[in-house]
Amino acid sequence: MWPVPGRDSKPGIRGKPEMLESIRRDSLRRLRAEFHLRLGNAYHVLGHRSRSAAEYTMALTLHDDLLQAHLALARLRMPGSNYLVWLERLHAAILPATYLEVGTYRGKSLSYARPPTRAIGVDPEAAINVSFQAETHVFRETSDVFFAERRLVPFLDGQPLALAFIDGLHVFHTVTQRLHECRGSVWSAFGRPDP
């Protein structure tokens, strides 16, 4: 007698070959993505920018979350000094009265603030391993909590926020939300009523 699906097949066994096949296909795609990433790196070293970009793009077509391919493409499209160099230049040029950094990690970027700047870092996983030149306060919590608790208000003491760097959770919605909140701090310091 033939097995009747739903009556004779065990729930744990049903669908397993499809699952294995899907895992196999996914692993192959990732391997192919890695291959194109490395090819992109090789073209880059040889100075073939457009071929290199094409390989990185192909890698991302196969695996759209491949961080190294995103970074490599970004470096190709926006060559020059990296964000830390720019941040240090900005601090030196502006000497902002206040500085907020969302996403602090070990404190490298936060450490570029220098007196008379007063700085705040926000990161639930902050593990500072540098020393700070400026007066610096680190809040070990998410920026959602930080803004919900309105911690900027006493820090700013009625002044606008002078400089902010948003480098926490790199998700579109969260970053735009933080931008909105930072702008809110600037506006509210100038007395604009809340909408």
**Residue 176 burial (10 A CB sphere; 0-12, 13-18, 19+):** exposed
The binding track of 107-136 with respect to ligand SAM, each residue x by CB under 6 A or -, is -xx------------xxxx-----------
Cis-peptide, bond into residue 17, ω within 30° of zero? no
Site for ligand SAM contains 21 (CB under 6 A) = no
Assigned token pair, 2:
């033939």
CA–CA dist 41, 126 (Å, integer): 32
Q: Distances from the Cα of 174 to the Cαs of 6, 42, 114, 180, in angstroms?
A: 45, 35, 28, 10
* DSSP designation for 141: S
Strand-pair category, 135-139 with 118-122: parallel
Judged by beta carbon, residue 51 or residue 70, the one nearer ligand SAM is 70
* The one segment of 26-34, 91-99, 105-113, 156-164 that binds ligand SAM by CB under 6 A: 105-113
Residues 6+ apart with CB under 8 A from 185: 152, 156, 160, 161
- What's the min distance (Å) between Cβ of 85 and ligand SAM? 11
Q: Measured from the CB atom, is 24 or 137 closer to ligand SAM? A: 137
Q: How many residues bind ligand SAM (CB under 6 A)?
A: 16
The residue among 52 and 104 lying less far from ligand SAM, judged by its C-beta, is: 104
Question: Looking at beta carbons only, is 108 or 183 nearer to ligand SAM?
Answer: 108
Residues 152-181 that bind ligand SAM (CB under 6 A): 167-169
To the nearest whole angstrom, how small is the minimum distance from the Cβ of residue 36 to ligand SAM? 25
Interacting residues with ligand SAM (CB under 6 A): 102-105, 108-109, 122-125, 142-144, 167-169
